[in-house]
């Protein structure tokens, strides 16, 4: 797929103000999340307790930084930015979470990843993006490396998954147009 065939659109949920943007995609996001939850959650996830309200709460929490990836108005996947350091026009760093439909894995996800990185660095002004993955998630690891992320650390037994200690890996990438922090 060519780079210009997809676009990013925000999914915004604000129940307090009764403001919703692109809510029509929520059922597909819910199905996608359920399908790949084993790569996104540990035993302590509040989303696991009640998937519907948990995912609504999560999207509302990260709004306005939950981005749909659309190709001809079909949902391909999503990116979300969480644990943002900075505020308003002065964002420093964030963790990126991603999930795509299987038929888009491969070249499409690599192109989307590169475009999302460019968007985060050029449009949002973020200086550093981070990702936390389970070591067995080799597909996301490959996309991260392809996009210039480097492994910063492996945290042994950092959490529990299915009642067993689970390692986590942290990857990051800096905005090359900014000075790297040492």
Q: Is the dihedral of CA 141, 147, 150, 153 positive or negative?
A: negative
Give average pLDDT by consecutive 10-residue segment, the chain, 182 residues.
73 94 95 88 83 93 95 93 88 94 92 94 95 91 94 96 94 78 39
Residue with structure tokens 């998954």?
161
What pLDDT is recorded for position 182? 38
Residue 102: partners with Cβ closer than 8 Å, 6 or more residues away:
none
What pLDDT is recorded for position 178? 58
Rounded CA-CA distance 83/151 in Å is: 19
Closest CA to 6 of 63, 65, 64, 75: 75
If DSSP codes are grouped into helix, strand and coil, which group holds residue 48? Answer: helix
pLDDT per residue as tens digits for the range 137-155 = 888 999 999 999 999 999 9
- pTM attached to this predicted model: 0.89
CA-CA-CA-CA dihedral for 9, 15, 18, 19, to nearest 10? -10
């Amino acid at each position: 797929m060519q780079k210009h065939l997809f676009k990013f659109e925000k999914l915004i949920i604000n129940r307090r103000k009764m403001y919703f943007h692109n809510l029509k995609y929520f059922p597909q996001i819910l199905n996608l999340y359920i399908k790949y939850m084993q790569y996104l959650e540990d035993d302590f996830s509040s989303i696991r307790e009640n998937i519907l309200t948990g995912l609504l709460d999560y999207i509302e929490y990260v709004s306005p930084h939950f981005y749909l990836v659309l190709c001809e108005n079909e949902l391909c996947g999503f990116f979300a930015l969480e644990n943002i350091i900075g505020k308003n026009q002065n964002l420093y760093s964030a963790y990126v979470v991603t999930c795509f439909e299987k038929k888009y894995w491969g070249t499409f996800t690599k192109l989307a990843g590169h475009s999302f990185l460019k968007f985060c660095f050029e449009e949002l002004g973020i200086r550093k993006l981070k990702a936390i993955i389970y070591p067995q998630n080799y597909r996301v690891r490959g996309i991260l490396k392809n996009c210039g992320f480097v492994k910063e650390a492996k945290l042994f037994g950092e959490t529990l998954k299915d009642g067993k200690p689970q390692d986590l890996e942290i990857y990051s990438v800096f905005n090359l147009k900014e000075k790297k922090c040492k």
